[in-house]
Structure 1
Amino acid sequence: MTGPEEVRCMLMRGGTSKGAYFLADDLPADPAARDDLLLRVMGSPDPRQIDGIGGAHPLTSKVAVVSPSDDPDTDVDYLFLQVNVDEPVVSDRQNCGNILAGVGPFAVERGLVPAGDDTTSVRIRMVNSGDRATATFPTPGGRVDYTGDAEISGVPGTAAAVVIEFPPGKGTLLPTGNVGDTLAGVEATCVDNGMPTVLVAAESLKVTGYEDPKELEADEELAARLREIRLAAGEAMGLGDVTDTTVPKLTLLAAPRHGGAVTTRTFIPVRCHTSIGVLGAASVAAGLRIDGSVADGIAQLPTTGDRLRIQHPTGFTDIEASLTTGPDGLPAARRTAVVRTARKLFDGTVFPRPAHTPGGPR
């Protein structure tokens, strides 16, 4: 058998996603061996992931690998891995802000960071991009408390608030150097405020932006156009050939309903997100703040304060985003913060599917 027969694992809901959290020391150090193990843990490739703990959807087939950080300015390193559902692929090409919400509590649970008497702040380095975040959450009596009255769309009930603040990234907010680009014949704004994201007016792709995600996923013409735009955006944003990756994300924009700033439909890469990722929402919020972006004439920005309500298929995400001017004269992120919740679902041992032996039974 390849790899360990059993692995210590904590399954957590982070934001509107769900994933398996591991200490790096509990996984193989070799990336290929690690990825093979994670495919067997999650039950991929199989559209139902019936023989693993994956949830048969990209939002529930995620992994966090956490370790002590050697960076004096951070406490832990967080590597995010997206485990494909129906392909034997594990990708480290992107961050995940939802799974990020569980990293701080997990680090305290595993003893990587001591808990405070009331609240604890954990400084996190996101290995995928090098970006940093600080997660603050309640730890009364020195123990993580997951109960509280914070509510986020897409998650039933309430839980303790996890406040995640992102310092300005080292990269450029506008990776193409332009406020607007024409990609595969479509006007777009490419933004990276923690997640490479392409903003496109929904009507430019002959949809309203209010459709149900399943309706959009069934639109083969739309899927083909999204692929064309992603490929063009990947080259324009310096990401290279993105055929086999989930970044950049594509977010369609429509006028807001119910008092928000904008309505969104986000694709990963052609499956429509039932909500929106935290870092994706941060990039959308920054894009709304940029004068002359494709959001002009679509978004309705508040007259005061930094908070923007990003509407999505199952509700909304509130993001606090403000911009400044960078040394190159282009817009740059100044502050980004979001309130999420997380919850420990189980903590124990996971038993991966046995490795396939050539010539033996599958």
Structure 2
Amino acid sequence: MTQTAMPFLFLRGGTSRGPYFRRADLPEDLDTLAEVLIAVVGSGHPLNIDGIGGGAAVTTKVAMLSTSDDDWADVDYFFAQVSVEDRLVDFKPTCGNILSGVGPAAIEMGLIQPQGDETEVKIRAVNTGARVVARIQTPGGELTYEGDAAIAGVPGTAAPIALNFMGVVGSSTGAFLPTGNLRDEIDGVEVTCMDVAMPIVIARATEFGLTGYESAAELDANTDFFARFEAIRIEAGKRMGMGDVTKSVTPKFGILAPARDGGTIATRYFMPWNTHPSMAVTGSQCLASCALTPGTVADGLLNRPNECPANVVLEHPSGTIEVLVDYDNRDGFELKSAGLLRTARKLAEGHVFIPSRIWKG
């Protein structure tokens, strides 16, 4: 055989999509695994023409699942971000949108048995150690993708998937504020470097001569802006204790502006080398936390909610995303948990093939 066949599911999770594998069906060695995933996705071509990627960072993501050996978790979720064109694989971050499909995929794979009309799946994100409780609709003990839940960036409706994120502060760096400061100045720009579910370097849109309401396409065409914030992101990565992040997708970058469509605050999120067409689930938790924390670059851009938990509505290029944040700010901002509503849908299942010279299986 000149090709190696690997069983997989293909799901949309939130506003991303990609293949979901059993971890045991893939090579253990990360260097070999990276080459396998590059071949699966077709990284190295803008259209991913020789793989099943979709030519965008939100469609070149991979989930790998296994039964967890953690006393708390049911399922381990190992994530890989494969680049579209550069033949790179980053195992450092996690992805909350792809995580939306982990519960359904685990049921489809037989890793979890449905329990009544709603099945709770405890998920450990291997990359960051984050713990997430997903509640999946299983009426009569049968998994369903049909429902009335709608999320911005996805047409139509589907069954709701409730995600509750816990223990996400300092997920990558070990600190809520990795530099120790609420604000830092880098290259003349004030930023807040924060690590909640995803480490992000956050600035005001006006620092770059932007409104913060630009479309994803308009921002992607602004090469001067990307060059300027990339230099800031790289320096911030060093200050955050993350080392040389030149080839890493973390920390991400985000910008803030006053809300204009009834939300709490307007946001744009970068992956980091192009603009997210909507909003990352992990990114939304960090940006919502920044918005709620006095002294950050969000000061003056919003009227902070007084209630707790607070429903933070982030405006993004495709609409809005709501983050229910349970927190304590009596002695600085302390995040307890963040809840979001997502949807997912199985698109295909079967085998994906790669050249056997890469891995014989």
- Would the TM-score normalized by the shorter structure come out above 0.5? yes
SS of residue matched to 2:127: coil
Other-structure match for 1:332: 334
Q: CA 1:355–1:299 in structure 2 vs 1: closer, same or farther (change >3 Å)?
A: farther
CA-CA distance at 1:353 after TM superposition: 4.7
Secondary structure at the aligned position of 2:121 is classed as: strand
Asked if the contact 1:20/1:62 (under 8 Å) is kept, the reply is yes
Equivalent in the alignment of 2:197: 194
Change beyond 3 A, Cα 1:267–1:169: closer
1:318 aligns with 2:322: yes
Letter in 1 for 2:314: I
Q: Which residue of 2 aligns with 1:128?
A: 127
Partner of 2:239: 236
Distance 1:132 1:47 in 2: 34
Counterpart pick for 1:350 among 346, 349, 352? 352
| SS of residue paired to 2:106 | helix
| Equivalent position of 2:275 in the other structure | 272
For 1:212 and 1:51, locate their aligned partners in 2 and report how far apart those are by CA, in whole Å: 30
Match of 1:152 in 2: 151
Map 1:1-362 onto structure 2 (within 5 A). Answer: 5-169=4-168, 171=170, 172-304=175-307, 306-324=310-328, 329-353=331-355, 355=357
Change in CA separation of 1:23 and 1:79 when aligned onto 2, cut-off 3 Å: same
How many Å separate the matches in 2 of 1:346 and 1:98? 18
Distance in 1, Cα, partners of 2:354 & 2:247: 25
Q: Contact between 1:266 and 1:272, CA under 8 Å: does it hold in 2?
A: yes
Q: SS state of the match for residue 134, structure 1?
A: strand
Question: Amino acid of the residue matched to residue 124 of structure 1?
Answer: I
Deviation at 1:168, TM superposition (A): 3.0
Unaligned ranges ≥5, structure 2: none
Unaligned runs of 5+ in 1: 358-362
Q: CA deviation digits over 1:242-297, x for unaligned, max 9?
A: 10011111111111011101111111113111111001000000111101111111
Q: In 2 relative to 1, CA 12–356 (structure 1 residues): closer, same or farther, beyond 3 Å?
A: closer
> Matched residues in 2 for 1:346 and 1:27: separation?
19
- AA aligned to 1:105 is P
Task: State TM-score, norm by structure 1.
Answer: 0.94
Find the aligned partners of 1:333 and 1:142 in 2 and give their Cα distance.
34
SS of aligned partner of 1:351: strand
- Seen in structure 2, the aligned counterparts of structure 1 residues 246 and 278 have a Cα distance that, compared at 3 Å, is same
Q: CA deviation at 1:337?
A: 0.6
Q: Is the Cα contact below 8 Å between 2:178 and 2:240 reproduced in 1?
A: yes
Distance 1:70 1:147 in 2: 32
1:90 and 1:61 mapped to 2: Cα distance? 10
Q: Please report how far the alpha carbon of residue 354 of structure 1 lies from its aligned counterpart in structure 2 after TM superposition.
A: 5.6
| CA deviation map 1:169-206 (0-9, x unaligned) | 36332222211111222101111110001210000111
Q: CA deviation at 1:208?
A: 1.0
Cα deviation for residue 210 of structure 1 reads: 1.0
In 1, Cα distance between the equivalents of 2:329 and 2:306?
A: 20
CA deviation after TM superposition for structure 1 residue 325, in Å:
5.0
**What number of residue pairs does the alignment pair up?**
354
* TM value normalised by structure 2: 0.94
Contact kept in structure 2, 1:260 and 1:311, CA below 8 Å: yes
- The separation in 2 between residues aligned to 1:322 and 1:73, in whole angstroms, is 21
Paired residue secondary structure (2:274): coil
Secondary structure (helix, strand or coil) at the match of 2:4 reads: coil
Deviation readout 1:47-96 (Å, 9 max, x if unpaired):
11111110000000000011111101001111110111101111111110
AA matched with 1:37: V
Partner SS, residue 6 of structure 1: strand
Residues 286 and 322, structure 1, Cα contact 8 Å, conserved in 2:
no
The Cα of 1:222 is off from its aligned counterpart by 0.6
Identity %: 43
